[in-house]
Amino acid sequence: MRHRKKGFKLGRTYGHRRATLAALSCALIRHKRIRTTLAKAKALRMFIEPLITRAKEDTTHNRRQVFRYLQDKEAVKELFGEIAEKVNGRPGGYTRVVRIGRRPGDGAEMAVIELVDYNDVKPADSRKTRRRTRRGRGRGRRTETPEAAATTTQAAEAEAAAPETPETAEPEAQVEQATAEAEAATPAEAAPEASSEEAAEDQEKKDEG
């Protein structure tokens, strides 16, 4: 049974683990957003959120208690100053952990941990979505009843046998009219060409005579 074994070991001893979380906490307080492994991000969230809750009440006792964990005067000053004012109306849940995929070298799962009040836009999750296959696409067609199939066939035959509507007939009539006009205009255009050829032949005869 894992009674009283809550938390993350992170492959470190107690002192090493506490120093790692203190360094990550100071980095998060300073930059408001850091990138680390998923296990460290989850451990850091459990470590720093109680400290942020203490920072809401600015007393000497609370400052000393927070400094006891962080061991950084500048981080304590910023935590009780700017960050405490920013998260004053939030009753918890000051940080957000977002997975961003795996590290190329060793395949460790990486994550971004950030202060919610300083990052309103949640970063996109890089985890791949499940691919959909085509296996389920034909189910509707396979389960189609004979009555529905007969109805679809009758509708298609009715559309094919429907008489031509005036709207579709009108463009065809316009095309036929334009063709007739073009044919009528062709002899008129050819007449000047024929007359010019006759005049040329008459001129040649006169020159020979």
In the numeric block, which tokens belong to residue 10?
């992170």
Query: How far is it, in rounded angstroms, from Cα 35 to Cα 27?
Result: 10
- What count of other Cβ atoms lies within 10 Å of the Cβ of residue 108? 13
Is a pLDDT exceeding 90 seen at residue 176? no
**Domain 14-118 CATH assignment equals 3.30.1540.20:** no
Q: Pick the more confident residue, 164 or 12.
A: 12
Residue type for position 117: D
The sheet carrying 95-102 orders its strands as 33-37, 109-115, 95-102
pLDDT of the residue at 24: 96
In the numeric block, which tokens belong to residue 130?
């499940």
- In terms of Cβ atoms closer than 10 Å to its own Cβ (0-12, 13-18, 19+), residue 144 is exposed
Q: Pick the more confident residue, 182 or 24.
A: 24
The three-state secondary structure class of 153 is helix
- What pTM, to 2 d.p., does this model score? 0.57
Query: How far is it, in rounded angstroms, from Cα 136 to Cα 156?
Result: 26
pLDDT, mean over the chain? 80
- Where along the chain do its domains lie? 14-118, 168-204
